Chain A
Amino acid sequence: MSILTDLFRIPKFVAGLAIFLTIVALGLVGPLIYRVSPTDIVGPRYTPPSPSHPLGIDALGRDVLAQLLYGIRGSLLVGAVAAGIALGLSLFLGTIAAVFGGLVDKVIMVISEVFIIIPSLLLMMVLAAYLSPGARNIWLVGFVIGITSWGGWARGFRSRTMSILQSEFIKMAILSGASRVSIILRDIVPIISPYILASFAMLFTSAITAEVGLTIVGVGMTKDITLGLILYIAQLYANITQGIWWTVVPPTLVMILIYLSLYLVAISLDEYFSPKLGTA
């Protein structure tokens, strides 16, 4: 528990976590408080922000704040599902490959190469062609993005693990009868934990961006609202060139804040843990 109390003394960490949790809270609680449906037409298109519609109305006559709140929820879900799947796979397979070595290592590396090559776009197009529109939901998009983005990180975790395996303290652990699983869980994971969190932040943000990309091409989800969908509609109706900022700036700002907050958390963790590694 002392690690947590130490971490809460770092301003960067507290700021990052606070921003991120605020956004999460907005996505979870926001729709319950601001009870406006994001799909209903509530007024004339492009009505600027006003007390009744705090973020104005978009190209299709819908309330932007309601869209944003539901969009945050949708995007966070895509990010969490994709990052969870990708992080789980890459951490598990990367460390196993490094620690067990030999044939296990070779097989895992070949599989990771295959998944690095498969683009999420292609997989999504194939799935979009065969699945009914009803089956194309946020979970599926999160799953597809997750399954196609773990390969590179698995290699990253593998090389990190391999360099740690060269340390004397790993030999000491072996001499203390530690099993391979214990070496992964107790020696390697704590040391690469800042890297794990940083990779989670990166996977999270890249998943949110990847979802925007898929939506723009038209193979994203069809019914659920995400930040990507808001931006997609905004660029479809050329809102930026018309100076209709209220449909573009809020979702972009939220995306930047998600990235920034997770980045702050990641670097403060890195700064907290790595001085110890360098201590002589």
Chain B
Amino acid sequence: MSTILEVKNLAKIYEIGYIRKRQIVAVDKVSFSVKKGEIISLVGESGSGKTTTARMILRLIKPTSGVIKFMGRDIWRDLRGGSDLRWYWRNVNGVFQDPFSSFNPTHRIRDFMYRAFNLFNEKLDRDTKERLVREALQMVGLIPDEVLNRRPFELSGGMRQRVMIARIFLIRPMLVIADEPTSMIDATLRLGILRLFSKLREEIGTTIMFITHDMGLAYYISDRIMVMYRGKIIEEGTPDEIVNNPKHEYTRNLLDSIPKLYTSWFK
């Protein structure tokens, strides 16, 4: 399997204060690589820098230092102009955590989906676009006629998250960065959303990077898990290695914190 994404010494430092400068290291020299077709999870607590890492890979936040290479091209140096960026986002796209704030409240679902056609180099006529959008919505188990003319506030959180994933089915990128796609959804709907990601890999061959705080979820879905703590990746391995043989103290705490049946919660 070939490497699709390579991250080297990636760091993001925020400076606050005018007179007495204080530095907050959000991401601290992180290096990893993602191979084509794998599902990789980045697990960590709130504030561990995992979302910042995701945003930097999506080219939404500029890193302080370090290199992100996608298919051999440095995304912050080699991409110039609109067409390069459209190429990048056609191939690398994301699903966000919050299905409520990720939609413009004044847009219909149709507008939201149609906007992704900006990324397409090929010129498509109206009928083709409509057909592609409908196919994408059907892929995630939504009925196009029911949602296309709705506005986001008329849909439930689960439906909106499905629409966001439908957008990915429409764009068909090589790499999807899914930033806590299930954290704001009812537990009963989580499995359905996770199955959609598996479907994404089976049908389009997408590489998926999951950002999550839920070790159970990561274990369920991933080929490889990276544990992030205070801006650093402290452990990396297959789910079984991590669960059966955690090396770092933090990973052990994380594993202990997964609620289990038949054990007392109050020791």
Total contacting residues, chain A, CB less than 8 A: 22
A224 within 8 A of B: no
Contact (Cβ within 8 A) A175 B94: yes
Q: Which among B98, B103, B104, B107 has the highest number of chain A CB atoms within 10 Å?
A: B104
By a CB distance below 8 angstroms, the chain B residues around A169 are: 101-104
Q: How far is the CB of B240 from chain A (nearest CB, A)?
A: 34
Chain B residues with CB below 8 A from A182, complex form: 118
Scan residues 224-280 of chain A and give those whose CB is less than 8 A from a CB of chain B: 273, 276-277, 279-280
- The answer on a CB contact under 8 Å between A172 and B96 is yes
Within 8 A of A (CB), among B82-134: 82, 85-86, 89-90, 93-94, 96, 98, 100-107, 111-112, 115-116, 118-119
A187 CB–B CB distance under 8 Å: yes
CA of A190 to CA of B111, assembled, Å? 13
Residue from B93, B94, B105, B107 having most chain A Cβ neighbours under 10 A: B105
Q: How far is the CA of A174 from the CA of B89 in the complex (A)?
A: 9
Indicate if A173 sits at the interface (CB-CB under 8 A).
yes
Chain A residues within 8 Å of B55, by CB: 171
Closest-by-CB residue of B relative to A2 is B149
CB atoms of A176 and B115 under 8 A apart: yes
Contacts A177-B85, A177-B118, A177-B119 hold; do A171 and B96 have CB atoms under 8 A apart?
yes
User: Residue A179 at the B interface, CB < 8 A?
Assistant: yes
Check A178/B106 contact, CB under 8 A, given A168-B96, A168-B98, A276-B151. no
Give A173-193 as 1s and 0s: 1 = Cβ < 8 Å from B's Cβ atoms. 111111100100011001100
> What is the CA–CA distance of A177 and B112 in the complex, to the nearest angstrom?
12
Whether B153 and A279, one on each chain, are in contact in the complex, defined by CB atoms closer than 8 angstroms, is: yes
Per a CB cutoff under 8 Å, which of A168, A175, A191 touches B101?
A168
Min Cβ gap B161→A in Å is 13
- How many whole Å from A101's CB to the nearest CB in chain B? 13
Cβ–Cβ contact A177 & B86, under 8 A: yes
Say whether, besides A179-B82, A276-B151, A276-B153, A172 and B102 are in contact (CB < 8 Å). Answer: yes
A52 at the interface (CB under 8 A from B): no
Residue on A with the closest CB to B94? A175
A171 to B111, CA, bound (A): 15
The chain A residue sitting closest to B105, CB to CB, is: A276
19 A-B interface contacts by CB (under 8 A): A169-B102, A169-B103, A171-B55, A171-B58, A171-B96, A172-B103, A173-B115, A174-B60, A174-B89, A176-B167, A177-B89, A177-B115, A178-B118, A187-B104, A190-B106, A191-B106, A276-B105, A276-B106, A280-B100
